[in-house]
Structure 1
Amino acid sequence: MNPINKQPISGIGYDFIPKQFLPKGKDEYYLRNKQNRSGINYRKLSALEIEVLVRNRNTSDNWNNILVSDAFNPELVKNCKFFGLVRIGKLEPYYLEFHSVKLQVGLYNSTIISCDFGDNVVIDNVHYLSHYIIGNEVIITNVHEMGTTNYAKFGNGILKQGEEEKIRIWLEVCNENAGRKIIPFNGMLPGDAWLWSRNRDNEQLQEKLKEFTENKFDKLRGYYGKVGDRTVIKSCDIIKDVWIGSDAYLKGANKLKNLTINSSPQASSQIGEGCELVNGIIGEGCRIFYGVKAVRFYMASHSQLKYGARLINSYLGNNATISCCEVLNSLIFPAHEQHHNNSFLCAATVMGQSNIAAGATLGSNHNSRSADGEMIAGRGFWPGLCVSIKHNSRFASYTLLAKGDYPAELNIPFPFSLVSNDTANDQLVVMPGYWFMYNMYALARNAWKYIDRDKRTDKTQHLEYDFFAPDSMNEVMHALQLMEQYAGKKALTENIDTVEIPAGIFENSKRKIVVLKTSKSYHAFKELIIYYAVEQLLQFAATVNYKTADELFSQLPKKQKRSEWVNVGGQLIPVAELNQLKQKIVAGKIKSWDAVHAFYAAQAKQYPQQKLQHALSCLFELTGTTKLTKETYSSYLQSYLATKIWMVEGIASSREKDYSSLFRKMMYETEAELEAVTGKLKENSFILQQQEELKKTKAVVQKMIKLSRL
């Protein structure tokens, strides 16, 4: 039986806060009055204004509880039912227009319970509007139900007075068994989600992070929902316990419940037709359209859900897009792309700059007795069409998986590799360095486009998009060691192509593991380490004063040992620094999420110097030296320039294949038609940009080589 309570009509709009939760000496409006920062001076209605309101078919349980500003116009309020304390700002004879829809300022055909309104709002045909504070020039039209409960949490995983722990909202990220669950809170950065989801054996740290979250909010009941200035809400069914920022646009949503929708004039958020969103937090500048279903979720700023996408128990990082597909129990770092209806991602940590192709089924099968498998993919993860992989699997940075059903768990330590499932020969095939050898255009352009598309207004976390970075270069160093281990250092100099890896290391099976292009990738990786070091050195040289090479060398970091790094939500941080953060949190020296965010900001400032130190330590470890000399510096500069030329030529030649392939050209009657459709290769803006950059680099390097000879 439905628990329908029958109460006197005089109770509508009053006693919002249950008496047992009302502080002594406070009335039910004390939190509402703190929330309303409009600055409007409200007064009671005049007898004439009440007469006009009644004539316009408005009713109120008590006209003395309708308060208005001095610029209130009663003629602009028609056919409304008022209950409880209602405060109305300026109403002037204008209309508001948005996307060609023109609506007269005022309150019309609505039931309004205990709400505050700013100046010149449009409230039209809202069947039930309860306990909201509405900003200036807001449009709300054709909404069935919009209300706030006294225990509203607006998507944050907190508890209110009198609530039991079992009702708390958690995000069960990374693992379906809830063993890595985290508590969402407004302002949670990708690094926060990662930090909390890991370190599960550190109970003190876990408890401190929970305390940080609890301390961001109070347990008081009675907060009203808010709608920021210039927000437009039209043709929505149910909006319950939703906090909405300014300049947002909500149209045609089916159900929005227990949400924070951050939005601002600089980064407007939009929610479109058929969406159903429950228990979530949405960052500034997000777009959610066309039948999206999201439950227990966090969308960081400037991310998108479109075309029936399903996001459940997951954190989606900044500047990411998910369309049409299903994502469950996942932690996704910034710059993620997943566009296809039959893509499936489950129980995964995907570390950004990733692209999931059609038919990919990542985490389709658990290889244990319960649903507790996981997948971790480094930056640049790219599974191809119809890829199927099993838990548990782990991939180094910039791993490309060729189409195939991978029958067992994978552990791929080689970065920039192409992985193939060779069913004909029943073997796993790995080609390290594939991107540099065959698809330089995509690798370089992706790094550029992620920087170009980073629309964040809050850049507390420095996101690394360069494929030459401490995480990927540590993997390159490890790959060199593995190649020497399995092929032999001497053999690698003899241009061997194929090396077999013992079974059970890269794949949890007894079949062969074959590494292709071994010598070529070995030498390429060594060149990349030199390139990485010189690139960082040149960037450093552009920021300091020096007259000789020795003066430049004297300003370089003195530390020699290569450090371990970790990807913390898209921000690369040395493991030693991260360990200190965790120790300070446990010791009580860091006491809030704001302090954790200050740590991210401090690390971002130190990152260029740390990256330079890391690059030089990689170089010294590779070459077996301990310092730069003029002779070695000149040699490294020449090697760097040769690699730069090779990379820029690779960018152009890999793109040129799209113009020379017969199977590409057969779509067009003439060369002119091809260029009209795809653009002219010689006018490709990215290639031209890279070639122009190469000219500048040549000039800089030649100058540095001359300097090293003085």
Structure 2
Amino acid sequence: MTEISAQAPDRYGYDFIPPAYLPAGKDEYWLRNEQIGVWKKTWRKLKVQEMEILVKNDNFCSNWDNFLVSDPFDPSLIRNSNFYGLIRLGALREMLLRHHDYSIPAGIRNSTVISCDIGDNTAIQDCPFISHYIIGDRVILSRIDEMQTTNHAKFGNGIIKDGEDEDVRVWIDVMNEAGGRSILAFTEMICADAYLWACYRDDTELTEKLRVITQKNYDSRRGFYGIVGSGSVIKSCGVIKDVAVGEAAYIKGANKLKNLSILSSEDEPSQIGEGVEMINGIVGYACHAFYGSKAVRFVMGRRSNLKYGARLIHSVLGDNSTVSCCEILNNLIFPTHEQHHNNSFLIAAMIQGLSNLAAGATIGSNHNSRANDGEIRAGRGFWPGLSVSLKHSSRFVSFVIIAKGDYPRELNITLPFSLVNNNVQKDRLEVMPAYFWMYNLYALERNSWKAMDRDKRIIKVQHIETDYLAPDTAEEIIAALGQMETWLDVADRPVEPEDNADGEIPAPGLEHKRQAVLLKPRKARAAYREMLRFYAGKTLIAYLESNPDLSFASLAEELGDAKNCNTDRITDWVNLGGQITPAFRVDKLRAQIREGKLDSWEAIHKAYDEFWAAYPLDKARHAWGVLTYLRGKGPANTGDFIKELDHTLETRRWVADQVYRSRAKDFLDPFRSITYRNKEEMDQVAGKAEDNFFIKLTREKLGQFEETVKLLKERLR
């Protein structure tokens, strides 16, 4: 049977809201009028002369009494177009609208417009079907095949409208293909929200409250119109249905856009390009989607990008991320994620930011299970190398780099900053703890700098910790040290610190059903302790610098070290979408949501802001506790503390030197020079290590750090 039905032609453009959903005394325009209440425009009916000009220019309207205009109005700028339902036009005068190299006269030509409000001096050309939209000022709409809004449009929000069944609701199955961590998209969603919803599934009262909050916060009434914000340009597109477009957006050549909110502003404009298809989702401010990218059931955070055929499905992509030429399915990805290669896959995972996936990486294969309910969890700084293949279920702490290889079993890598290698010849897993600190500080330092430098968000709703040494990674190091001590005791080997005496030791539990070993465990142990001391020192320096009135005595008192013990150190920290916060704060937040004290996403976001405001003190107290852990007690007096400052400065100098040495290896490798005729040609093409921008920046920041420590020492004495 055909699904085409017939309707009386005189009702074309009317009856947008079914009578059952109209409140008493309201007409079908009541919500439309609410939406344009801020316009403050005055409409009038056409003058006889204006109507004559419109008809002469081959325009048709089913009822000219419902064709309202604002002054000034030039009817000659409307030609060969059809109008149905209530039409309201803003001011229209002769002018040329220009966007880049594309120019178009203001007015309406060769189009059919159905029950729309149109702002001042907008251009609509060759659009055969525009229905139930509110279009802002100086908008360009050109060659759009179909653009319409239904009375039950949700604009990407995971709600149901009045009278709809629950099975209509659109869920996003993050982290798990089986759907056990499903969340609902909404226009204000950030990664912290997705994490709170997806990762505390045992707290069933919390997850139900979040569903109720989302439903309540987004209007369930039927009859809202789609919006195209002022200054936006939409041209050469196929189908645009139930899409809300913010201001200054640029959409060109998209195939299909359906059930979306495209957040955009003059300061943070979003763009969607050729061949793109996006359905059921939220496009964040200043986002870009180009060149055939596809997104279905998704949220894109601020300043994120899809390029070159990337697929983003059932996933949340955090702020400042870029993915291209790859497939991302069932994921929760925290801010600053990079994935650029056509043959890379990320499936059923939570990646906690500052991450990078190389070509050929297949992260998430269900081959070790009969079901599709496996997951991968990776902490900050996750870096699988070329052609890495990982199985569900696996877990990685922060800043783990994985060497090229097909990893046949599940992994549980509990040692941060480590290098993981699948040794095929010896049929074993090899892990080198603290690898980054010992051998590649250039990459480690640059990753943190890059995350800060590329954060161009105007409004930073999602807070992000970009330092690789923070409370979360410090606690991972402390846990790793305890684990390594156990393995070293079992190994029953000498503990000489010399590198040449530092052999491998067994490390059970890092891989399922196969032997794993640690490489250079004693050197790594020393490196871990130095990392902790450096973290503590530079954190306390930063806190003192931001609190210029603190003396050593007041610092010690504020950080709670009256008894010189470490029992009060907070050991449980949460990466809340990129924001690091003590777990007890998140637990309190969950309780407040369950109890109804926080009943909106705005209130929950305000709580995140309060966590962020408390973070410097939380972090400083933790740093003091880490010093106490390393020394057995906190600094006893000013002189003792100044020694710590001196040690931190020496470590900072060492870090700067290691950054240079790490990068210089590339220039000293003889195979790097074999493609050049001579050293001079190589210098011109590849540059010199000492001229590297980041190395120069590192040395510049070292100088600033030296001055800071000097001033602090003078102040504390």
TM bin, normalised by shorter chain, reads over 0.9
> Partner of 1:102: helix, strand, or coil?
strand
- What is residue 88 of structure 2 aligned with on the other side? 87
Among residues 524, 527, 535, which one is paired with 2:527 in the alignment? 524
- What is residue 479 of structure 2 aligned with on the other side? 478
Deviation at 1:627, TM superposition (A): 4.5
Distance (whole Å) between structure 2 residues aligned to residue 551 and residue 18 of structure 1: 68
- What is residue 236 of structure 1 aligned with on the other side? 237
> Partner of 2:459: helix, strand, or coil?
coil
Deviation at 1:84, TM superposition (A): 0.7
Q: Would the aligned equivalents of 1:94 and 1:105 in 2 still touch at CA under 8 Å?
A: yes
Q: Would the aligned equivalents of 1:492 and 1:518 in 2 still touch at CA under 8 Å?
A: no
The worse-fitting range, judged by mean Cα deviation, of 580-589 and 451-460 is 451-460
Deviation at 1:76, TM superposition (A): 0.2
Q: Would the aligned equivalents of 2:242 and 2:260 in 1 still touch at CA under 8 Å?
A: yes
- What is residue 517 of structure 2 aligned with on the other side? 514
Deviation at 1:23, TM superposition (A): 1.0
- What is residue 24 of structure 1 aligned with on the other side? 24
Q: Map residues 51-130 of structure 1 onto 2, 5 A cutoff.
A: 51-130=52-131
The worse-fitting range, judged by mean Cα deviation, of 665-674 and 610-619 is 665-674
Deviation at 1:703, TM superposition (A): 5.4
Q: Map residues 593-608 of structure 1 onto 2, 5 A cutoff.
A: 593-608=601-616
Deviation at 1:501, TM superposition (A): 2.7
CA displacement, residues 92-114 of structure 1 (integer Å, 9 cap, x when unaligned): 11111112111111000001100
Residues 490 and 639 of structure 1: CA distance in aligned 2, closer, same or farther (over 3 Å): farther
Q: Map residues 411-426 of structure 1 onto 2, 5 A cutoff.
A: 411-426=412-427
Amino acid at match of 1:136: D
- What is residue 201 of structure 1 aligned with on the other side? 202
Distance (whole Å) between structure 2 residues aligned to residue 388 and residue 491 of structure 1: 36
- What is residue 536 of structure 1 aligned with on the other side? 539
> Partner of 1:358: helix, strand, or coil?
coil
Amino acid at match of 1:605: A
CA displacement, residues 442-501 of structure 1 (integer Å, 9 cap, x when unaligned): 111110111111122332332100011011110111111111111139944444423333
- What is residue 317 of structure 1 aligned with on the other side? 318
Q: Would the aligned equivalents of 1:527 and 1:639 in 2 still touch at CA under 8 Å?
A: no
Q: Aligned pair 1:688/2:696, yes or no?
A: yes
Distance (whole Å) between structure 1 residues aligned to residue 272 and residue 380 of structure 2: 29
Q: Would the aligned equivalents of 2:22 and 2:28 in 1 still touch at CA under 8 Å?
A: yes
Gaps of 5+ in 1: none
Q: Aligned pair 1:585/2:593, yes or no?
A: yes
Q: Aligned pair 1:261/2:259, yes or no?
A: no
> Partner of 2:415: helix, strand, or coil?
coil
> Partner of 2:365: helix, strand, or coil?
coil
Among residues 562, 566, 570, which one is paired with 2:569 in the alignment? 562
> Partner of 1:337: helix, strand, or coil?
strand
> Partner of 2:260: helix, strand, or coil?
strand
CA displacement, residues 587-610 of structure 1 (integer Å, 9 cap, x when unaligned): 122221111101100011110110
Q: Map residues 257-336 of structure 1 onto 2, 5 A cutoff.
A: 257-336=258-337
The worse-fitting range, judged by mean Cα deviation, of 352-361 and 541-550 is 541-550
> Partner of 1:347: helix, strand, or coil?
strand
Distance (whole Å) between structure 1 residues aligned to residue 261 and residue 515 of structure 2: 51
Q: Aligned pair 1:618/2:632, yes or no?
A: no
The worse-fitting range, judged by mean Cα deviation, of 619-628 and 64-73 is 619-628
Deviation at 1:545, TM superposition (A): 4.1
Distance (whole Å) between structure 1 residues aligned to residue 277 and residue 351 of structure 2: 25
Among residues 476, 487, 505, which one is paired with 1:500 in the alignment? 505
Amino acid at match of 2:694: F
Distance (whole Å) between structure 2 residues aligned to residue 7 and residue 76 of structure 1: 32
Deviation at 1:69, TM superposition (A): 0.5
Taking structure 1 as the reference length, the TM-score comes to 0.97
Distance (whole Å) between structure 1 residues aligned to residue 635 and residue 650 of structure 2: 22
Deviation at 1:521, TM superposition (A): 1.1
Distance (whole Å) between structure 2 residues aligned to residue 548 and residue 209 of structure 1: 45
Among residues 652, 659, 673, which one is paired with 1:665 in the alignment? 673
Q: Would the aligned equivalents of 2:667 and 2:688 in 1 still touch at CA under 8 Å?
A: no
Deviation at 1:292, TM superposition (A): 0.6
> Partner of 1:542: helix, strand, or coil?
helix
Distance (whole Å) between structure 2 residues aligned to residue 614 and residue 585 of structure 1: 27
Residues 306 and 13 of structure 1: CA distance in aligned 2, closer, same or farther (over 3 Å): same
Amino acid at match of 1:499: E
> Partner of 1:158: helix, strand, or coil?
coil
CA displacement, residues 76-134 of structure 1 (integer Å, 9 cap, x when unaligned): 00000111111111111111111211111100000110011000000000010000000
Among residues 648, 656, 678, which one is paired with 2:686 in the alignment? 678
Deviation at 1:677, TM superposition (A): 2.3
Deviation at 1:135, TM superposition (A): 0.2
> Partner of 2:126: helix, strand, or coil?
strand
Distance (whole Å) between structure 2 residues aligned to residue 629 and residue 273 of structure 1: 65
Deviation at 1:156, TM superposition (A): 0.5
Q: Would the aligned equivalents of 1:87 and 1:116 in 2 still touch at CA under 8 Å?
A: yes
Residues 478 and 303 of structure 1: CA distance in aligned 2, closer, same or farther (over 3 Å): same
Taking structure 2 as the reference length, the TM-score comes to 0.96
- What is residue 343 of structure 1 aligned with on the other side? 344
Q: Would the aligned equivalents of 1:141 and 1:235 in 2 still touch at CA under 8 Å?
A: yes
- What is residue 12 of structure 2 aligned with on the other side? 12
Amino acid at match of 1:531: F
Distance (whole Å) between structure 2 residues aligned to residue 188 and residue 468 of structure 1: 27
Amino acid at match of 1:522: R
CA displacement, residues 154-176 of structure 1 (integer Å, 9 cap, x when unaligned): 01110011110111000000000
Q: Aligned pair 1:646/2:654, yes or no?
A: yes
Amino acid at match of 2:660: A
Q: Would the aligned equivalents of 2:545 and 2:712 in 1 still touch at CA under 8 Å?
A: no
Amino acid at match of 2:98: E
Distance (whole Å) between structure 2 residues aligned to residue 453 and residue 583 of structure 1: 36
> Partner of 2:39: helix, strand, or coil?
coil
